[in-house]
Amino acid sequence: MNPIPYGRQHITDEDMAAVAKALTSPALTQGPTIGQFEEAFAQYIGSQYAVAVANGTAALHLCALALGVNETSKVITTPITFSASANCIRYCGGEVHFADIDPETLVLDPKAVRALLEKHPKGTFSGIIPVDFAGYPADMAAFRELADEFGLWLLEDSCHAPGASFTDEQGQNHRCGDGSLAELAIFSFHPVKHIACGEGGMITTNNEALYRHLLRLRTHGITNKPGDFSEPEPGEPERGGWYMELQELGYNYRLTDMQAALGLSQLKRADAMLDRRRAIAARYDAAFTGTAVRTIVPPDRVGHAYHLYVIQVPDRKGLYDYLRTKNIFAQVHYIPVHRMPYYRQFGWKLGDFPLAEDYYAHGLSIPMFPTLTDEEQAYVIREVLAFVNGKV
């Protein structure tokens, strides 16, 4: 069997043709395809606005800036995520706090967040960054309730979850990042994600003021729109078509037209690829039911996007090592952020978040990508079960 990674991009002839066409455009950075990609992505997610940026981390950083995070800010997130979900707060000088996960979903637990909020005076915290881990939607309705009660903003990290959704207790369906519950949401277009741009990210929102601010922040804080200019100073030379203004400290976090062309092409088959991921997950679910392999099977009200298929087993390292001998390259998502040396310096220690730490001790992401063949998946299932059943 050829090597089987935990994730893999899928590039088609149509994708390559789209990129080749973009290469002939006069503008390779902020060309016309950027706007087309933003409009199409906003329509797919269900938000009013979308801002394309260099990558998911840049998206998080810009959102933190737009939300006013600074040295006085304290923000809550999950320890089970890629470190960028927390780092974006540190980039702005803010203080990161963690709350534990729900072991049934592996997502930040609203009850744990409430307990943390209630231990401090109202006004202590500025916001919450829930993460749609592995493609399982965070309970954004519960987080919105907390945010409204405690005066917080919400930034939804949906890097794993384009196309995911959940139905709230009132029967209303919410798509991850649609702007109905969080002020801002972010997505990633890293190669192993649902939509690949090589690198790339997107911010979605229904807030026009935040949208306009983000457009400026991603391009050095510069505007060239006359309606946004400051009043001319006495004696200032007459302004011409060249005039622009640096209005605040921004960043060069732009996506290129070539990357947008690839993303736009991939977006056209996003639903089909999501259906394939869900079919692969259903096959895994059936194979592991009644075994020592623990899985997360969402209820009917949750539309899981399955960026990852995560299992939990008694001997995680043993299985990880064994699978590598069989050319199956599983991965661990993630080492809890509070256990990283950088965050340990702030006083976080082993035992602070026992549910997250227990998941980390047993969790493993096995192959999940749309081009995984039935034969490859059967092989993965067979080898996982052989190990956990002691038949190797």
Q: Which residues are catalytic?
A: 193
In this structure, what token pair is assigned to residue 133? 């881990």
Angle between helices 316-325 and 374-388 (to 10 degrees): 130
Rounded-to-integer distance, Cα 137 and Cα 177, Å? 10
CA distances from 27 to 22, 32, 204, 242 (A): 9, 8, 24, 18
**Is-contact 106 133, C-beta < 8 A?**
yes
CA dihedral 203, 204, 208, 212 (to 10 degrees): 20
Strands 4-5 and 328-329: parallel
Alpha helices in 226-373 (DSSP H): 257-267, 270-288, 316-325, 341-344, 354-362
**Is-contact 314 382, C-beta < 8 A?**
no
In this structure, what token pair is assigned to residue 42? 């906003």
Task: Tell me how far the alpha carbon of residue 374 is from its chain's centroid.
Answer: 28
**Is-contact 335 86, C-beta < 8 A?**
no
In this structure, what token pair is assigned to residue 219? 């391009």
Rounded-to-integer distance, Cα 11 and Cα 17, Å? 11
CA distances from 237 to 50, 225, 226, 245, 339 (A): 36, 18, 16, 14, 56
| Number of Cα atoms under 13 Å in the Cβ half of residue 381 | 19
